[in-house]
Amino acid sequence: MTVTIPLKALQFNPGSSVTINNLTWQEFETILDELAEQRRVRLIYYQGNLEIMSPLAIHERPNRIITDIVKAILDSQGRDWEDFGSTTFKRPEIAGVEPDTCLYIQNASQMQGCTHIDLDIDPPPDLAIESDVTSKTTLEVYAAIGVPEVWIYRKQQLKIYAFVDGTYQEQSISPTFPNFPLTTLIPQLVEQAINQGTSRMLRTLRNRLVEGT
């Protein structure tokens, strides 16, 4: 006899993950619906394999801090942005992912007023930010979605990946922010935020940006 346990009945401890193999796209869609109210977990689906993750709170902080830094830089440059957070992006039958955070920058004006993403019509986010990613399929999923730039922050290091010729290539400089040494700057600012307070770090950063230093 096969016993089926609803996923919403399972308890996911912070920092834990569960992998389900040989899953059809329709089954993935069903799981998305079933877990709709359980926002503590995040999902990555790629070619029949699903990973369900429950992030640690300490891993969430860098993601939010980095997002605040990005917005501060964009605001100082007078550039528009739209924050779509952990929206689920789907390429049917192939891939589905919920970023820690994602932003529309180059395509911000196109996404104003958008409440439902359809990648057959809408562009993928211009930038996805992930904190403490351990899944090996993460970049493969983003390649299937077509995200131009992915940042992965792990162990106090920022790695920048740009989608070039159908694959991600690590970059020392962000294509979106070519005038900023972000691989050095962001880890420093994240540590300042954690040790001194995020609001204080952001005030100092905004003053530096205004002064051009």
Q: Return the pLDDT at 15.
A: 67
Whether the Cβ atoms of residue 205 and residue 189 lie closer than 8 Å to each other: yes
Three-state secondary structure call for residue 150: strand
Q: Are 50 and 143 in contact (CB under 8 A)?
A: no
Question: Could you read off the pLDDT of 157-193 as tens digits, one per residue?
Answer: 999 999 998 899 999 999 999 999 999 999 999 999 9
Read off the pLDDT of residues 88-98 as tens digits, 9 standing for 90 and up. Answer: 999 999 999 99
Q: What is the pLDDT of residue 172?
A: 96
The residue extents of the domains of the chain are 57-211
CATH number of 57-211: 3.90.1570
Contact 52, 12 (CB under 8 A): yes
Average pLDDT over residues 70-97: 95
Alpha carbons 198 and 175: distance in angstroms, whole number: 26
Question: Taking phi first (over 0 means left), then psi (-120 to 50 degrees means alpha), and beta for anything else, what does residue 21 get?
Answer: beta
Q: Which residues pair with 20 in a beta bridge?
A: 50
Q: How confident is the model at residue 1 (pLDDT cuts 50, 70, 90)?
A: very low
Q: How far apart are the first and last CA of the chain?
A: 68
Dihedral angle over CA of 201, 203, 204, 210, nearest 10:
140
Q: Which of 56, 117, 111, 109 is nearest to 86 (CA)?
A: 117
User: What pLDDT, in 10s, does the model give residues 35-69?
Assistant: 776 557 888 999 999 998 877 766 778 999 999 99
Which residues, at least 6 apart from 167, have a Cβ–Cβ distance to it below 8 Å? 143
Laid out side by side, the sheet with 82-83 consists of 82-83, 101-104, 127-131, 149-154, 157-164, 167-171
What residues contact residue 213 under an 8 Å CB cut-off, 6+ apart?
A: none
pLDDT for residue 20 is more than 50: yes
Rounded CA-CA distance 154/78 in Å is: 29
pLDDT at 2: 38
Q: Does the pLDDT at position 210 exceed 80?
A: yes
Longest Cα–Cα distance in the chain: 70
